[in-house]
Amino acid sequence: MKAAFWRLVRRLLRGPRVSRALGSLGIDARRYWLLIDLFGTISERREMFSQLGTDGLSLQFAAWLYAIFSALMSLLLIMVGKSVVVYFWAFLAFTAFLMLTILFSETSNSLVNPVEGLVLAHQPINGATYTAAKLTHLLRILLYLVPGLNIVPALAGLIFTDSRWFYPLVHMLAAFVVGLLVALLCCAVFGWLVRFVPPNRLKAIGQVAETLPWLGYLVLQFSRELRQHIHAPAWLLADTTLRRTLAVGFGVLSVAIVVLGLRCLSADYLVRVASIVHGGSGRKSKVRRSRLSDLVARFFGGPASRAGFEYTSRLMIRDWQFRRQMIPMIPVALVPAALLATGWRISPFSGKFTGMHVMPHIFGILLFLICTVLVYGSDHKAAWLFLLAPAGAYGRFAKGVYARLWFVFAIVPHVALILVLPWLWGIRDAGLFVAYSLAAVSFYLGLELRLVDGLPFSKQAEPTRSPVSQLLMFAGGIVIAIAVGVQFFLVFRSPVVVVAVTLALAASAYLVTRRGLETFEVAIRFNLGLLSMETKGIYTEVQ
């Protein structure tokens, strides 16, 4: 029954009426459906697996996850006694923000990283047809995630006494309209970028554009005092005619910007595909040998460890897929700075709870997020080069990767803290806290090395993280909350206890890091072993 239903839907979509509608927009219907079939085949073969809209299983999991979260949010708003109007607009704003962050990333990954563009650029396909087929998966994201976010809240809205029987229909219709407007806005933004940004710089600028929703969210969160001092002119709110005029003008301007952006996208995109593909995702750096890598080679195992250190250092900055998956983590990355700004003047030995008690664990969360995505990269097909390395070099290479992560997220921030905190807390309190925090972060990194299940940047990026990673994050959050409570009530009550716990953490960090490096090396060998079997299959004779 389900297969028959989808065959009927497919036949209706490819009928003459839909073809005429596509033709009125400048889209060649025949080539459009050929491209849709091509992209579907590539996705089934897992050759274009980094787009959320092409992976039905990931979309279903994300929709169920958002449905659970929206149900909890609905229950909270109902319990606090908000009106149905506040309830309605809260979910529309939440839907708009979430769709903006997801669709910005998906639009950027589709348009700014067009892997198949070089193959299709010489075909007789106009820009409107190609971009329409390329962005059709955004509609699939809307069809899954908008209902996942709003079905439960729409039905729960009937609980309010001032809601009407048709409230669920209004809620769902408004949510779909908001999602579609956000999708058009994202496409228009990249249309303007394609029109005015040089193609060889589009990847870098595109990823900067992806950060804008998160940066806007952070500005709104950390600028409450600024918002309180800004007062809109009284005449702007009092004059009804002026408000209507401004609203109409803003609406017309927005429509013009979106329409012209879409026209730029359909007209200019395909002719620039080759330059976009060959463009870099970041600033090219000069290849030079650093003293830090010499120290890594001396203390972590020779040239192979230097290779792991430099390889990780450069690709963490330049790899497209790694940077793309790290963009949603910007708020988490800025949490240590916010905690430092709010609690850096108060010593943790004062008996008061401050953000500094949470700082070591925030670095542990950051390392967890990085280790879960470190294995994915844009140029994963080039991993066969590591098959040419000697078998004994993989363990030392793993040590170099570890050295890079440990240096960036443990050594550098704690050296900065030890230079600042003694002036505020005294040498004893600052030294004990920095030693404890360094030992805790090192322990976290040793544990989380096991999450890197292969050679870094050697696998095709996945659109969403696995359910296991989600469960690990949830369980880790509970453990961290317990650790922060124990740390506040028991550890930072006595310097002697801090010294004892720091020594225990340092010893544990040494042991788990040793075991984690062994597991990391085995994962690299296993990953390359699978790769060697795939390369042998290429040369199998076909009878």
For the cut 80, the answer to whether the pLDDT of residue 149 exceeds it is yes
What pLDDT is recorded for position 515?
93
- Our CA dihedral for 280, 282, 283, 284, rounded to 10 degrees, sits at -50
Are 112 and 190 a contacting pair, CB within 8 Å? Answer: yes
- In this prediction, residues 285-306 reach a mean pLDDT of 75
Task: For residue 380, give the nearest of 59, 52, 102, 49 by alpha carbon.
Answer: 49
Task: For residue 514, give the nearest of 398, 370, 365, 391 by alpha carbon.
Answer: 398
Write out pLDDT tens, residues 231-252: 544 445 555 676 677 767 777 7
Q: What is the DSSP letter of 411?
A: I
Residue extents of the structural domains in the chain: 18-227+237-278, 291-538
Name which residue leads in pLDDT, 399 or 23: 399
Tally: H helices and E strands in the chain: 26, 0
For the cut 70, the answer to whether the pLDDT of residue 171 exceeds it is yes
DSSP assignment of 197-224? S-GGGHHHHHHHHHTHHHHHHHHHHH-H
Average pLDDT, the chain: 76
What pLDDT is recorded for position 543?
44
What pLDDT is recorded for position 510?
93
Task: For residue 194, give the nearest of 251, 260, 253 by alpha carbon.
Answer: 260
What pLDDT is recorded for position 322?
82
d(Cα 344, Cα 249) in Å, to the nearest integer? Answer: 47
pTM over 0.85: no
> pLDDT-derived band of residue 508, with 50, 70 and 90 as boundaries?
very high
For the cut 90, the answer to whether the pLDDT of residue 509 exceeds it is yes
Specify the long-range contacts of residues 145-148, CB closer than 8 Å, at least 24 apart.
145/59, 145/62, 145/63, 145/66, 145/98, 145/99, 145/102, 145/179, 146/95, 146/99, 146/175, 146/176, 146/179, 147/63, 147/172, 148/62, 148/63, 148/64, 148/65, 148/66, 148/67, 148/70
Residue 376: beta bridge partners?
459
For the cut 90, the answer to whether the pLDDT of residue 84 exceeds it is no
What are the phi and psi torsion angles at 529 (to 5°)?
-65, -40
What pLDDT is recorded for position 5?
53
Task: For residue 96, give the nearest of 185, 189, 211 by alpha carbon.
Answer: 185
For the cut 80, the answer to whether the pLDDT of residue 219 exceeds it is no
- Our CA dihedral for 390, 395, 401, 402, rounded to 10 degrees, sits at -170
Write out pLDDT tens, residues 1-41: 555 655 665 666 666 776 777 777 777 777 777 777 777 67
What are the phi and psi torsion angles at 380 (to 5°)?
-65, -25
Question: What is the percent of the chain with per-residue pLDDT over 70, rounded to a whole number?
Answer: 71
- In this prediction, residues 168-173 reach a mean pLDDT of 90
What pLDDT is recorded for position 406?
92
Distances in whole angstroms, Cα of residue 304 to Cα of each of 12, 77, 311, 524: 59, 56, 10, 14
User: Exposed, middle or buried by CB within 10 Å (0-12, 13-18, 19+), for 149?
Assistant: buried
- CB atoms under 10 Å from CB of 186, counted, come to 26
How far is C-alpha 111 from the geometric centre of its chain's CA atoms?
17
- CB atoms under 10 Å from CB of 485, counted, come to 12
- In this prediction, residues 391-405 reach a mean pLDDT of 89
